[in-house]
């Protein structure tokens, strides 16, 4: 078999084609491999642009180096949020899920045209939204969207921004349909079998996604698009905020689930062992489906207009949402330990030395998991309804989520890329030592940036602000000085950016590498306790979907009703605040 090489993304061909074994993914499913490559390409371009803006922000808001005007800071911050938290994460997810679903169901999607349809829809959405954000930097174009990735009305972006977002989400919906059709096709051939684990993870995650994107879809399609086009009045700010957070919390699990998929199904193999327990993995994903959505109000602990009781319910659900992550910590460590003992590791801690630390894919995922544990702790502080008042909207919060999405997810994705890119390109990884250095550098950079952000937050320094200080008062650090915290943020940001550049270079050189990838033959090993040990009911996707819907109705119907009852859909007195360009990109060189 061979694939024609008409485009740069079509790199699934090495000079020596015969080197790729017939059972390797790229030879069996060349079209899917190409889909994965396209998704990864989008993800990495978004990562490059977002990361560049990240380091500019880190240097600007700490007053270390300034290349932009403070008013443009928010254009970059919007791009940073959208490109990294939406485009990078979700395109990478799409690639991983397309790979995992196909691999575990052992069949390609039914109709490649449909597959390209969702890739195209997501791409179009990205280009529209991304373009309308970046247009804010160009004086000549009368389009901008400096509304940050939370786009709270009545801040108003150009309609293209909202239309692009809607298209992007529709693209992900179509992708989910594609994966479900693949599954139904498999089910027809295997009426009595347990859903393969990876496919189970893909499907439960997508069910969670359908349920949770309902909030943002209604917000954008029913309210924001007609309003930005001037067809309808401004929607009630509290209502659109609440709809946003209906989606805004579960989206964090949408980022996390592909990382969990890698931790559960690939990491054990990398460590030389097998997943500890397949049933527990299923339980974890079902819990995420059930609990991810009815918690969004925990982002609104400080909002007026929402009764304390509703906040309390969200808090309780949030705390229970810790459970699947705590279970994951156990399973992952147990599986890795099993792997180490297979490699001859011994002793209480001695087994740690029997792990493949030189493998950037392994080490990257382990460091990501370690940082996730730290992020979990600061997350518990956020979730605590009353302690949240100390840190809400301070820079503590970016400190927290750079550990979670910015590392647990992003670093796992980078590590996964070191393993997966050779599998979808057929080309050997350019350099493992450089990869190892890169993931460790990310860990170090993030330690600096995130720790200092957490501390700055305790001193009251707000997030989302271009200036390091105010004229009227100064912040006081609990430990150390504010200026040393600033330096640490800037220094960490620079290390992260360097790490990112090295990653992208390593991947680009891999894509151009003429050496064929090796080790493509081996398949992922089955779990120690297999699916046959788990109750059949875990595979009843319909049942779980219905319970998830009921939980969401319980958590959200009263708060939404009370908002609508109090303020209506279109509250009096709200006027749009268009975030129009101050059309200057002042590059002070």
Partner 1 sequence: MSRLSPAALLLIGAALVPIAIEFPVILTFVGIRNFSFGLSFALFGLVFLAILVWSEVADVIGSSAGS
Partner 2 sequence: MHVHNYEKLWLLASLALIVGFISTIVYGAVGAGVVMVNDEGGQVNASGLSEHPEFNDPGVRKVGPNEYEAYVVAQQFAFSPDPIEVPANSTVTFYVTSRDVVHGFEVAGTNANAMVVPGEVSKMTVEFNETDEYGVVCNEYCGQAHHDMAGEVIVKEPGNFTLDDAGESTTAQATNGTDETANGTGES
Q: Of 199, 266, 264, give the one whose Cα is nearest residue 519.
A: 266
Residue 402 annotated in active site: yes
Tell me, yes or no, if 455 is annotated catalytic.
no
Contact positions with partner 2 (CB under 8 A) in 362-381: 380
Assess whether 298 carries a catalytic annotation.
Answer: no
561 binds, among partner 2, ligand HEM, Cu ion, none (CB under 5 to 8 A by kind): none
Site string for partner 2, 271-300 (x = CB under 8 A): -----xx-xx-------------------x
Choice among 437, 464, 475, 569 that is catalytic: 464
CA–CA gap between residue 252 and residue 288 (Å, rounded): 11
Residue among 18 and 474 whose Cβ is closer to partner 2: 474
C-alpha 2/C-alpha 426 separation (Å) is 12
Partner touching 63 among Cu ion, partner 2, ligand HEM, none, CB below 5 to 8 Å by kind: none
443 binds partner 1 (CB under 8 A): yes
Rounded to 5°, angle at Cα 36 from 496 and 91: 50
* Catalytically annotated residue among 402, 423, 427, 486: 402
**Which residue from 300, 328, 388, 447 is in contact with partner 1, where contact means CB under 8 A?**
447
Phi and psi at 492, nearest 5°, equal -60, -40
Rounded CA-CA distance 41/74 in Å is 26
Among the listed residues 519, 527, 425, the one whose alpha carbon sits nearest the alpha carbon of residue 200: 527
Site for partner 2 in 471-490 (CB under 8 A): 471-476
With CB under 5 to 8 Å by kind, the binding choice for 443 among partner 2, ligand HEM, partner 1, none is partner 1
66 flagged as catalytic = no
Q: Which pair of tokens denotes residue 48?
A: 């490059």
When binding is defined by CB under 5 A, the residue of 249, 311, 454, 463 that contacts Cu ion is 249
Q: Say which entry of partner 2, partner 1, ligand HEM, none residue 456 contacts (CB below 5 to 8 A, set by partner kind).
A: none
Given the rule CB under 8 A, which of 21-29, 38-46, 434-442, 546-554 is the region that contacts partner 1? 434-442
Residue 237 CB partners (closer than 8 Å, separation 6+) = 152, 153, 154, 571, 574
- Whole-number minimum distance, CB 480 to partner 1, in Å? 5
Distance CA 196, CA 278 (A): 10
Residue closest to 282 by CA, chosen among 206, 195, 185, 190: 195
Backbone angles phi and psi of 529, in degrees to 5: -100, 115
Q: Of 5 and 533, which has the nearer Cβ to partner 2?
A: 533
List of residues 6+ apart from 394 with CB closer than 8 A:
456, 457, 458, 460, 461, 462, 463
Is residue 23 within 8 Å of 30, Cβ to Cβ? Answer: no
Distance CA 168, CA 42 (A): 13
Whether residue 46 contacts residue 559, with contact meaning beta carbons closer than 8 Å, is answered with no
Is residue 400 within 8 Å of 475, Cβ to Cβ? no
Question: Which candidate in 401, 413, 418, 491 is catalytic?
Answer: 401
Applying CB under 8 A, the span of 4-12, 156-164, 480-488, 539-547 interacting with partner 1 comes to 480-488
Lookup: tokens for 40: 């990864």
Residues engaged in binding ligand HEM (CB under 6 A): 51, 54-55, 57-58, 61, 77, 80-81, 84-85, 88-89, 148-149, 398, 402, 405-406, 410, 463-465, 493, 496-497, 500
Q: Residue 249's binding partner, choosing from partner 1, Cu ion, ligand HEM, none, with beta-carbon cut-off 5 to 8 A by kind?
A: Cu ion
Q: Is 400 a catalytic residue?
A: yes
Which x/- pattern, by CB under 8 A, does the window 481-500 give for partner 1?
Answer: ---x---x------------
Give me the catalytic one of 34, 249, 282, 455. 249
Q: Locate 208 and state its tokens.
A: 């969670």
Q: How many residues does the chain have?
A: 589
List the single partner that 357 binds among ligand HEM, partner 2, partner 1, none, CB under 5 to 8 Å by kind: partner 1
Q: 11: buried, middle or exposed (CB in 10 Å: 19+, 13-18, 0-12)? A: buried
Give the Cα separation of 381 and 377 in Å (integer): 7
Contacting partner 2 within 64-93 (CB under 8 A): 70-71, 73-74, 77
Rg of the chain in Å (alpha carbons):
23
Q: Which residue has the tokens 């979907």?
A: 545
The answer to whether 77 and 148 are in contact (CB under 8 A) is yes
* Residue 463 falls in the annotated catalytic set: yes
> Which residue, 124 or 323, is less far from partner 2 as judged by CB?
323
- Binding-site partner at residue 427 among ligand HEM, partner 1, Cu ion, none, CB < 5 to 8 Å by type: none
Q: Which residue number has the CB closest to ligand HEM?
A: 54
Quote the tokens at residue 284.
């974890």
Residue 448 within binding range of partner 1, rule CB under 8 A: yes
Q: Which residues are catalytic?
A: 249, 253, 400-402, 463-464
Q: Which residues bind to partner 1, rule: CB under 8 A?
A: 357-358, 363, 367, 433, 436-437, 440, 443-444, 447-448, 451, 479-480, 484, 488
């Amino acid at each position: 078999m061979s694939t024609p090489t008409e485009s740069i993304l079509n790199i699934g061909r090495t000079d020596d084609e015969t080197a790729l074994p017939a059972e390797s993914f790229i030879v069996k499913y060349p079209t899917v491999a190409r889909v994965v490559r396209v998704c990864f390409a989008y993800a990495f371009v978004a990562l490059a642009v977002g990361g560049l803006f990240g380091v500019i922000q880190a240097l600007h808001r700490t007053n270390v180096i300034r290349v932009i005007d403070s008013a443009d800071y928010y254009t970059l911050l919007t791009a940073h949020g959208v490109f990294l938290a939406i485009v990078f994460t979700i395109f990478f997810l799409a690639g991983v899920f397309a790979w995992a679903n196909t691999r575990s169901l052992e069949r390609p999607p039914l109709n490649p045209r449909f597959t390209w349809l969702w890739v195209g829809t997501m791409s179009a959405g990205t280009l529209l939204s991304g373009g309308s954000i970046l247009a804010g930097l160009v004086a000549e174009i009368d389009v901008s969207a400096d509304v940050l990735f939370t786009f709270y009305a009545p801040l108003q972006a150009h309609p293209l921004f909202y239309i692009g977002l809607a298209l992007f989400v529709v693209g992900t919906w179509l992708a989910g349909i594609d994966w479900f059709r693949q599954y139904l096709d498999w089910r027809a051939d295997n009426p009595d079998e347990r859903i393969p684990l990876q496919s189970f993870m893909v499907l439960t995650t997508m069910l969670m996604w359908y349920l949770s994107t309902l909030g943002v879809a209604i917000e954008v399609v029913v309210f924001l698009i007609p309003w930005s086009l001037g067809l309808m009045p401004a929607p009630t700010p509290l209502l659109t905020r609440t709809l946003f957070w209906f989606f805004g919390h579960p989206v964090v699990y949408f980022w996390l689930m592909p990382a969990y998929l890698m931790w559960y199904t690939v990491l054990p193999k990398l460590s030389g062992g097998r997943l500890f327990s397949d049933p527990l993995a299923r339980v974890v994903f079902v819990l995420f489906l059930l609990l991810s959505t009815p918690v969004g109000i925990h982002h609104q602990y400080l909002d007026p207009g929402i009764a304390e009781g509703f906040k309390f319910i969200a808090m309780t659900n949030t705390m229970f949402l810790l459970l699947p992550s705590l279970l994951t910590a156990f399973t992952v460590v147990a599986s890795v330990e099993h792997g180490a003992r297979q490699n001859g590791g011994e002793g209480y801690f001695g087994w740690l030395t029997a792990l493949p630390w030189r493998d950037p894919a392994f080490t990257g995922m382990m460091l990501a998991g370690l940082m996730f544990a730290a992020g979990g702790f600061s997350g518990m502080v956020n979730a605590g309804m009353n302690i949240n008042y100390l840190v809400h909207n301070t820079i503590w919060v970016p400190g927290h989520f750079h550990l979670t999405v910015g590392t647990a997810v992003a670093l796992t994705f980078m590590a996964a890329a070191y393993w997966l890119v050779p599998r979808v390109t057929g080309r050997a990884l350019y350099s493992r030592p450089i990869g190892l250095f890169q993931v460790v550098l990310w860990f170090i950079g993030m330690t600096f940036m995130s720790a200092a952000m957490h501390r700055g937050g305790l001193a009251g320094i707000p997030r989302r602000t271009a200036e390091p200080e105010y004229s009227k008062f100064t912040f006081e650090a609990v430990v150390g000085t504010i200026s040393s915290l600033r330096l640490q943020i800037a220094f960490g940001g620079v290390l992260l950016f360097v790490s990112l550049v090295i990653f992208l270079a390593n991947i680009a050189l891999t894509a151009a590498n003429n050496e064929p990838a090796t080790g493509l033959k081996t398949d992922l090993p089955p779990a120690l306790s297999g699916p046959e040990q788990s109750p059949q009911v875990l595979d009843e996707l319909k049942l779980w979907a219905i319970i998830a819907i009921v939980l969401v109705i319980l958590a959200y119907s009263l708060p939404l009703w009370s908002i609508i009852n109090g303020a209506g859909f279109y509250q009096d007195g709200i006027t749009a605040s268009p975030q129009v360009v101050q059309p200057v990109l002042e590059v002070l060189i």
